[in-house]
Each structure stands twice: as structure tokens, then as C-alpha cells.
Amino acid sequence: MKTLQLQLVTVGLENGEQGLFVGWPLVSEMSEPEDGQVENIWFSNVQEVPDDLTLKQLMELVRKQLCGCQAKMQ
């Protein structure tokens, strides 16, 4: 079975609410602490997706979103 590396990022707000984000790993155990400093954070618009979406389909949507963001930044 082919595997896919994912990393969960939890963001806690001052009001106690939390959000959980899933994506490709940004920080690994091999990374140096100074390599993992956050410089920028972007939030996409909220998108409606089918509740039966597979992980593969979800990651494809994320990849398309990420590729669009990177193209705009260049």
C-alpha cells in the first residue's frame, strides 16, 4: 500500500477554540529548530466539500490550492 506523509497542525485561539489543519509535513524530526520558524501564515477561503471525499481527493484539492498560491507569490 502506498502511504502519504501528513502532519496535523493545531491552532489555539485566545477564546479557547481550536482548529486542526492537515497537510504535508513542514517540520520533521530531522529539522533544525531554526529551520522551523514561522514567517507567514495564509488562510484560504472556506470551501464546501462533499462529506464522502476521499483523502486522495482532498489532498488533490489542497495541492491545486497550494500550486495556485505559489504561482501568485513568484
Q: Which three cell numbers stand for residue 18?
A: 481550536
Distance, in Å, from the CA atom of 71 to the CA atom of 33, rounded to the nearest integer, reads 28
Taking 80 as the threshold, does the pLDDT of residue 1 lie above it?
A: yes
- Residue pair 10/20 in contact by the 8 Å Cβ criterion: yes
- Partner residues linked to 8 by β-bridges: 22
Long-range contacts of range 16-25, CB-CB < 8 Å, 24 or more positions apart?
23/62
pLDDT for res 71: 46
Distance, in Å, from the CA atom of 41 to the CA atom of 9, rounded to the nearest integer, reads 12
pLDDT for res 16: 92
pLDDT digits (tens, 9 = 90+) for 15-68: 999 988 887 787 777 777 676 677 888 777 888 889 999 988 888 888 887 765
